[in-house]
């Protein structure tokens, strides 16, 4: 029976040694909670590192115990942990992905350890992988695993989710192994990020660094459709609400309140990390008390810092800085009866956290950069009376969902100071209005909804991949289709031109029909309605094809000409005011790319680079496409990357819409379409289910069948017109 294999750097439990005995401790993290609904069911499993280095004899014992818990271990040596985890993962990728460039380091030996550790994970997965299994790989420590598996198991279903931000192209390109990392992730079928910005940065890097074109959020990787998406992760809302409303949490709140006094408390809770902005928060609180002295003695910062990686030098230095700032603020404003900052450097169990969420009316979560941040969502879920205020960094992924928080720029100290004052003075009615909206959002988009959405989207994509896997048009099928065509009373055939009827030529003007094609079209037009549907100019199609008494659709559907009639312009066209700016962009790239040239049609612009030096043309087309996609935002334009062309056209126009318009009013009993590039996919997708569609060339397609080249298309059309 097929199973789901979850893969992450750490298992949802960790093993520690206490008095010489191994103790299995369960993780309370959001990921472990959410994925518990998967790996504990049936024969599903979770693969990861158990958090400790062991002897060979101990590994065998631990593996047996973990198998009983639906887990499979990947054992890492202390060297692996130092070089792969503490080294490359957390001193190359982590700072790069959080925009802390000055903390980045590039060591070949750490990259090698990262590669080898990813290989260990891939080998562990391979050991337990069976046909039809689904693999879900998590986070930046395992970016190479998807492609390692893809090479070994080409048809396996793989999902990947990145839990931290993905940086802009300008930062990511600084990493020497950037292309290998991208190709590693692209081994997955479905790739998830917390925010649209992260997804957009990933697609941009794939395009500009690895040379992959993308349309919306889809990339074609070696004829395999890959999709990137933004899926913000949630929490177990009911768990935090129930804990916060429990008698134990209420009793602890009263006990802590008696100890702390009557000051208003501002909760600040983070793992020790320079991305969390803890020093900046302390400095803002210092400035707040200085600027508004009336709040001295009335407001305290309840600061919890959870230990993390404090054996790494940069983290040691951060801990010392935080301790210094806490001492500075307490020494500056503290009295016998007033402690401005209550500082705790440790983790707390859920019962204690729930009490903290209850007694702190304000939560101040201001990371410099954060993929999501679930603490703010836990705070919201724990506010039983729908009161309280959340001050949230706009650099946290959660800010995209929680717009009713007081959003701040964590680099703007003055803004944070004023946010504290605003939170303290916010009327109760306004608190409740905002909190109710945020609770509705957090309650709706839970960790369980996130898991279901990811898995359903992954399965849906796999089905679409399979539906796009075109069947080779063999002789038996060709004979069957030919019989159906000859029996039809009113057949219609849609034909793309370049690459389908005629081979490509370095000079696009040298593609007029040759004698063989002319004869085929003359004969075919007698037996069927023939529609040539092309991206070429109307004048060119008319000059070359008008003699054959066939229908012509030019510029992807902008102009249509029935046989023997005049050209008609699509009525949905917008004004061409966009062309001047787009033309300037294209001319700029022509100046930088010897051999490229601009073809200007009445309503579209096309940049050709077939004559450009190989490599340079691919590079410039990637740059141009990114530039144009940015330009076309909100302008109703599409950027189409074809065979050695980049075309800009109005988005209301495509071949599929034109084909459907041509079929209106026709009582056809045979519909067939041929095409070779992405623009023809619109035709294949739009045609009725009983239509026959043929992709010319290799690759995934919405077409039902595939042939190798234009010569094979001609041979089939010749069979259609051949007399019995």
Same domain, 544 and 686: yes
- CB-based contact 674:496 (threshold 8 Å): yes
Segment among 102-116, 238-252, 608-622 with least mean pLDDT? 608-622
For residue 308, what pLDDT is reported? Answer: 86
Final residue before a domain boundary, out of 604, 627, 650: 650
Q: Are the CB atoms for 540 and 599 separated by under 8 Å? A: no
Domain holding 519: CATH number? Answer: 3.40.50.1000
Q: Which has the minimum average pLDDT: 204-218, 381-395, 610-624? A: 610-624
Q: Tell me the mean pLDDT in the region 574-591.
A: 86
pLDDT value of position 30: 64
For the cut 90, the answer to whether the pLDDT of residue 291 exceeds it is: yes
Distance, in Å, from the CA atom of 121 to the CA atom of 187, rounded to the nearest integer, reads 15
What is the rounded distance in angstroms from the CA atom of residue 298 to the CA atom of residue 294?
A: 8
Q: Which of 81-95, 126-140, 298-312, 630-644 has the lowest mean pLDDT?
A: 630-644
pLDDT in tens, 500-523: 999 988 788 888 999 999 999 999
CATH number, domain at 607?
A: 3.30.70.1020
Question: How many Å apart are CA 581 and CA 583, to the nearest integer?
Answer: 5
Residues 630 and 660 in one domain: no
Domain boundary among 230, 261, 283: 230
pLDDT of 614 over the 80 cut = no
Q: Is residue 455 in a domain?
A: no
Give the 3-state secondary structure percentages of the chain, helix then strand then coil, rounded to 5.
45, 20, 30
Determine the structural domain holding residue 251 and report its residue range.
237-438
Residue 615 has pLDDT above 80, yes or no: no
With respect to residue 466, please indicate whether it lies within any of the assigned structural domains.
Answer: no
Same domain, 193 and 52: yes
Kindly report the CATH number assigned to the domain that includes residue 351: 3.40.50.2000
- The alpha carbon of residue 132 and the mean position of all alpha carbons in its chain are separated, in whole angstroms, by 24
Domain-ending residue, one of 397, 418, 438: 438
Same domain for 350 and 298:
yes
Judged against a pLDDT cut of 70, whether residue 28 lies above it is answered with: no
Q: 420 with 341, same domain?
A: yes
Q: Do residues 505 and 569 share a domain?
A: yes
Q: Which residue, 325, 250, 234, is CA-closest to 30?
A: 234
The answer to whether 399 touches 196, Cβ cutoff 8 Å, is: no
> How many angstroms separate the CA atoms of 538 and 559, rounded?
7
E strand spans, 576-624: 597-600, 605-608
Confidence of residue 31 (pLDDT cuts 50, 70, 90): confident
Confidence (pLDDT) at 652: 79
Is there a domain that residue 69 lies in? Answer: yes
Task: Give me the chain's average pLDDT, please.
Answer: 92
Structural domain tally of the chain?
4
Q: Is residue 375 part of a domain?
A: yes
Contact indicator for 492, 550 with CB cutoff of 8 Å: no
H or E, element range at 37: helix 30-39
Per-residue pLDDT band at 266 (split at 50, 70, 90):
very high
Q: Which residue has the tokens 């750097």?
A: 9
Degrees to nearest 5, angle at CA 598 with 597 and 600: 155
Ranking 106-120, 258-272, 607-621, 652-666 by mean pLDDT, the lowest is 607-621
Q: Tell whether 533 and 421 lie within a shared domain.
A: no
pLDDT exceeds 80 at position 20: no
Residue 269 inside a domain? The answer is: yes
pLDDT at 29: 64
Residues 161 and 208 in one domain: yes
What residues act catalytically?
A: 496
Query: Encoding tokens for residue 392?
Result: 């949230």
Pair 565, 589 in one domain: no
Within-domain flag for 311: yes
Question: Which residue has better confidence, 55 or 188?
Answer: 188
Residue 39 lies in a domain: yes
Q: Are residues 565 and 701 in the same domain?
A: yes
Mind listing the pLDDT tens digit for each residue in 73-129? Answer: 999 999 999 999 999 999 999 999 999 999 999 999 999 999 999 999 999 999 999
Distance of CA 547 to the CA centre of its chain: 50
Tokens of 186: 């692209």
Q: Do residues 323 and 283 both lie within one domain?
A: yes
Same domain (yes/no): 594, 686? no
């Amino acid at each position: 029976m097929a199973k789901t294999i979850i893969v992450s750097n750490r298992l949802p439990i960790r093993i520690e040694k206490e008095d010489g005995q191994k103790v299995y401790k369960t993780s309370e993290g959001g990921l472990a909670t959410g994925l518990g609904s998967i790996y504990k069911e049936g024969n599903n499993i979770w693969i990861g590192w158990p958090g400790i280095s062991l002897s060979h004899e101990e590994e065998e014992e631990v593996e047996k115990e973990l198998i009983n818990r639906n887990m499979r271990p990947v054992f890492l040596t202390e060297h692996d942990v130092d070089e792969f985890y503490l080294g490359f993962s957390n001193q190359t990728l982590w700072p790069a992905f959080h925009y802390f460039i000055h903390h980045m380091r590039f060591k070949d030996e750490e990259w090698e350890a990262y590669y080898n550790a990813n290989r260990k994970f891939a080998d562990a997965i391979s050991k337990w992988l069976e046909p039809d299994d689904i693999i879900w790989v998590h986070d930046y420590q395992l970016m190479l695993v998807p492609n390692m598996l893809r090479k070994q198991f080409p048809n396996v279903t793989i999902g990947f989710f990145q839990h931290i931000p993905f940086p802009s192209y300008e930062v990511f390109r600084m990493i020497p192994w950037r292309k290998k990392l991208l190709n590693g992730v692209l081994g997955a079928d479905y790739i998830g990020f917390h925010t649209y910005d992260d997804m957009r940065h990933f697609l941009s890097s794939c395009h500009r660094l690895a040379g992959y074109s993308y349309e919306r959020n889809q990339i074609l990787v070696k004829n395999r459709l890959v999709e990137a998406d933004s899926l913000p992760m949630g929490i177990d809302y009911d768990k935090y609400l129930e804990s916060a409303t429990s008698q134990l949490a209420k009793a602890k709140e009263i006990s802590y309140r008696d100890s702390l006094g009557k000051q208003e408390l501002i909760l600040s809770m983070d793992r020790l990390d320079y991305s969390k902005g803890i020093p900046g928060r302390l400095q803002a609180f210092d400035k707040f008390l200085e600027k508004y002295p009336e709040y001295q003695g009335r407001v305290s910062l309840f600061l919890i810092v959870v230990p993390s990686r404090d054996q790494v030098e940069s983290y040691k230095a951060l801990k010392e800085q935080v301790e210094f700032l806490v001492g500075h603020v307490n020494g500056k404003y503290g009295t016998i009866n007033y402690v401005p900052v209550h500082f705790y450097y440790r983790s707390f169990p859920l019962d204690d956290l729930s009490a903290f969420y209850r007694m702190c009316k304000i939560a101040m979560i201001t990371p410099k950069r954060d993929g999501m941040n679930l603490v703010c969502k836990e705070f919201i879920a724990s506010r039983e009376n729908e009161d309280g205020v959340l001050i949230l960094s706009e650099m946290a992924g959660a800010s995209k969902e929680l717009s009713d928080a007081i959003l701040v720029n964590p680099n703007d100290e003055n803004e944070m100071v004023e946010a504290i004052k605003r939170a303290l003075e916010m009327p109760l009615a306004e608190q409740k209005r905002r909190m109710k909206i945020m609770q509705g959002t957090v309650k709706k988009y839970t960790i369980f909804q996130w898991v279901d959405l990811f898995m359903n989207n992954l399965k849906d994509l796999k089905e679409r991949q399979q539906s796009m896997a075109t069947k080779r048009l063999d002789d038996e099928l060709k004979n069957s289709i030919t019989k159906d065509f000859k029996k039809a009373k009113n057949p219609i055939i849609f034909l793309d031109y370049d690459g389908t009827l005629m081979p490509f030529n370095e000079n696009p003007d040298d593609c007029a029909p040759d004698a063989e094609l002319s004869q085929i079209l003359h004969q075919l037009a007698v037996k069927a309605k023939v529609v040539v549907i092309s991206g070429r100019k109307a004048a060119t199609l008319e000059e070359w094809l008008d003699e054959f008494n066939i229908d012509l659709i030019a510029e992807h559907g902008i102009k249509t000409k029935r046989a023997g009639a005049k050209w008609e312009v699509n009525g949905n066209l917008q004004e061409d005011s966009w062309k001047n700016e787009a033309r300037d962009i294209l001319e700029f790239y022509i100046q930088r790319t010897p051999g490229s040239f601009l073809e200007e049609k009445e309503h579209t612009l096309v940049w050709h680079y077939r004559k450009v030096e190989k490599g340079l043309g691919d590079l410039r087309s990637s740059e141009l496409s990114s530039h144009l996609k940015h330009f076309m935002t909100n302008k109703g334009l599409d950027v189409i990357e074809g065979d050695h062309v980049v075309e800009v056209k109005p988005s209301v126009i495509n071949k599929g819409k034109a084909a459907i318009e041509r079929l209106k009013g026709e009582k056809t009993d045979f519909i067939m379409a041929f095409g070779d590039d992405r623009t023809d996919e619109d035709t294949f997708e739009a045609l009725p289910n009983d239509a026959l569609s043929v992709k010319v060339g290799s690759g995934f397609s919405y077409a039902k069948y595939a042939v190798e080249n234009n010569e094979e298309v001609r041979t089939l059309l010749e069979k259609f017109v051949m007399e019995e």
